[in-house]
Amino acid sequence: DGGITQSPKYLFRKEGQNVTLSCEQNLNHDAMYWYRQDPGQGLRLIYYSQIVNDFQKGDIAEGYSVSREKKESFPLTVTSAQKNPTAFYLCASSIGGVRQTQYFGPGTRLLVL
């Protein structure tokens, strides 16, 4: 089946720790995105990548980092600099650029211990 997978479903972070969220897609989509979802708010863009080895900051990139070494994969690292990391993180992909329809993965819930 084609789709977007995210792992793990739940992730626990200790204070001062960096954690990495995985996102993989087999849709052959060029563009991939990371969003953060907080209760009562719309999705906020963290980072996006339109091609391999290139990515751009979104609206709330501080405290996060990404890489795009393969077309299929776009991992997100939540660094210790992100002081309020508890949220639901969603990865998405689209055929072309930002304005194409984005399809989402199942999400990762990050909790702080």
Question: Are 63 and 77 within 8 A, CB to CB?
Answer: no
**Is residue 41 a contact residue for another protein (CB under 8 A)?**
yes
Q: Is 2 in the site for another protein (CB under 8 A)?
A: no
* Candidate residues 19, 32, 90, 110; the one interacting with another protein per rule CB under 8 A: 90
Among the listed residues 21, 68, 105, 110, the single contact to another protein using CB under 8 A: 105
Smaller CB separation from another protein, 19 or 91: 91
Alpha-carbon distances, residue 73 vs 1, 61, 81 (angstroms) = 17, 18, 23
H/E run at residue 88 = strand 87-94
| One of 2, 14, 40, 83 touching another protein (CB under 8 A) | 40
